[in-house]
Amino acid sequence: MAVAEFDPPMQAFDVIVVGSGAAGLTAAWHARTQGASVLVINKGMAGRTGATITTGGGISIAGQTLQALGLPGDPDDSEEEFLADTLRAGQFLGDQSLVQSMVTGIGAEVERLVALKTPMRIMKRAPGHTSGRGVHISGPDIQRIQLQAAVDAGVRFLENFQSSGLLQDRDGRVVGITGLDRATGEVRSFAANAVVLATGGTTSNWSLRTAPEELTGDGHAMALQAGAELIEMEMLQFLPCCLVAPEMWRGLQFPWILGPQSGIRAWLLNKYGERFMARWDLERMELSTRDMVAFASANEVVEGRGSPNGGVCLSWAHLPRDILDNYFRISSNVSADWRWEGFDMTPLVDRIRAGHAIEVAPAAHFSIGGVRINSAGETAVPGLFVGGETAGGLHGSNRLSGNAGAQVLVQGKNAGVAAARFAEQHPTRAKPGNDAELTERLVGPLAQRDGAAPSETKRRLTQLAERALSPVRDGVSIKAALNELAEIAANDIPNLSTRQPERPWNRDWTDALECQATVHVLQAALISADARTASIGAHRRRDQAKISDAPLSHGLVRGTPDRLQHRFEPVAFSLVSPAA
């Protein structure tokens, strides 16, 4: 069945930013301040979707940088220390030019937030850092203030628009974007001199996750198809001690906050009551690093010592009740009546007080890998810029607390400034060479009635990710997942269908478009996980024969979806050597 398409004239902007979280809005504000006309395109309602609103709120910044801004900071904490901590946490796999850019660039962005009268407090504790460096701004606050600043600067918005492909001229230069207007059901294209992708991470592709619904990796898939390179796609940060049940609370990090994150000595136990962290970190036990606790917990499940719903037990039963009763005095996250975010957690706390353990598991939390950029936010594709969680390479093999907050602000700015400059220096009205192809793929599912059900394909993809790309990995599972994914890509993806023909708010259709992106993102992650046979940071292989003595290398993926190619590139130790 042919589907007739609307064909309104393309509206044009200097810079189009995809995504309205902190990275996208920072990019938009800076591009606009450089004089560019800017459109922010968002899959949902601007300022109400994406991960920013859900963040803990830490933003890493060196003590001396804080002092230079007139804020209280540790006078002994330098940018060099901040850089060294970040590189060490990522086991020196991090791109040093990106780390340098973050540690030196965050001061100016915090200064901008201070000028915008953003409520913030100075942090005294920053897990994993050698100093208590950082400021804290709540997720809803930073989201609200950034949105208002962008509106005030004259940034324009298009909401409920699901971007699905980058328009490119015959030379591959990005000249615009195509997608689906969810509210009207129209397929529309917009011309741009430069595009910034700030679509967040890929963690919505895991079933147990802290992430909101949108983070399917649409930006990663668009960048890959346009010819950009992805880096360290096997690296995913899991947050340990998240709830697995009941359904409504799945993925909530409340037990983590009520326990290890606050320094409270809750015990992690397997089904035999064994305190299994003793096998991995006898000194710090449950207060070990997030990646270690996540790995150890997942490992208990893999080795058959997990709890009934595929987790492990977190217990406060050895502690006097007073510790919990006084919890609200040490944490500003939870109120005295146990309200946390939008939930009343009293029933859970009552269970803990009655001596029950809580079933917890590591939840997909943050995409460490992503699109490869340089410190200006440029990709390998002319006209395409990326910043924030969509970009990879900064954190190496593991991310320190507060560094995502610093990343989204600095990389958002860099991408926005670079995109505005590129737009000014290289204006184009070249005709796209790939618009028909993009539109055909976009409307494909709407023309089919009885093919693969998008919600079912989605479910299969998240289960596959959960099995093969958990905190504990092995080559056999990864290869099995690659085979299953190839089967889904060949049979289901071209046959994704919608059960009803109405265009507006057609969830089957929008689910289908997300599946199209997810399949490429998971393919890139699995290929990368398969190639990296040695464990490092967040990527832990059970089947690793010995500690690798190969040089430390970035894992890179590029190519068309049906022929993705992986290669390694030695890490350049331009500033600090691991031996130092």
Partner 1 sequence: MTTIQLRRAGSPKDEWETIDLPSPAEAGLTATSWNKVSVSAALAWIQRKTDPSLAFLLSCRRGLCDVCAVRIDGKVVTACTTPVRDGMRIEPTKDKLALAGTIIDISLVRRARI
454-468 and 507-531 helices cross at what angle (nearest 10)?
A: 20
> If we measure between CA atoms, which residue out of 236, 235, 198, 233 comes closest to residue 558?
233
435-447 and 507-531 helices cross at what angle (nearest 10)?
A: 120
Buried/exposed code over 240-271 (b: 16+ C-beta within 10 A; e: otherwise): bbbbbbeeebbbbbbbbbbbbbeebebbbbbe
> Whole-number minimum distance, CB 248 to partner 1, in Å?
4
Q: Is 141 in the site for partner 1 (CB under 8 A)?
A: no
- The rounded distance, in Å, linking the Cα atoms of 42 and 408 is 17
Q: Is 535 in the site for partner 1 (CB under 8 A)?
A: no
- Report residue 74 CA to chain centroid gap: 30
Kindly tell me which of 44 and 132 has the beta carbon lying closer to partner 1.
44
Give residue 287's identity as a one-letter amino acid code.
L
Q: Is 507 in the site for partner 1 (CB under 8 A)?
A: yes
Site string for partner 1, 453-472 (x = CB under 8 A): x-x-----------------
Q: Is 342 in the site for partner 1 (CB under 8 A)?
A: yes
Q: Is 504 in the site for partner 1 (CB under 8 A)?
A: yes
Q: Is 47 in the site for partner 1 (CB under 8 A)?
A: yes
Q: Is 252 in the site for partner 1 (CB under 8 A)?
A: yes
> Whole-number minimum distance, CB 147 to partner 1, in Å?
6
DSSP labels for 502-558?
Answer: --TT-HHHHHHHHHHHHHHHHHHHHHHHHH--S-BTTB-BTT--S---SPPEEEEEE
Q: Is 179 in the site for partner 1 (CB under 8 A)?
A: no
399: left (phi over 0), alpha (psi -120 to 50) or beta: beta
> Whole-number minimum distance, CB 278 to partner 1, in Å?
30
Binding residue for partner 1 (CB under 8 A) from 3, 12, 54, 91?
54
Kindly identify the residues of this chain, within the stretch 256-295, that bind partner 1 according to CB under 8 A. none
# binding residues, partner 1 (CB under 8 A): 46
Q: Is 247 in the site for partner 1 (CB under 8 A)?
A: yes
Kindly tell me which of 127 and 310 has the beta carbon lying closer to partner 1.
310
Binding residue for partner 1 (CB under 8 A) from 85, 214, 300, 492?
214
Give residue 201's identity as a one-letter amino acid code.
G
Q: How many CB atoms lie within 10 A of CB 329?
A: 8
Binding residue for partner 1 (CB under 8 A) from 53, 62, 301, 488?
53
Q: Is 159 in the site for partner 1 (CB under 8 A)?
A: yes
Site for partner 1, rule CB under 8 A: 11, 39, 44-50, 53-54, 139-140, 144, 147, 151, 155-159, 183, 212-214, 245-248, 251-252, 309, 341-343, 453, 455, 498-500, 502, 504-508
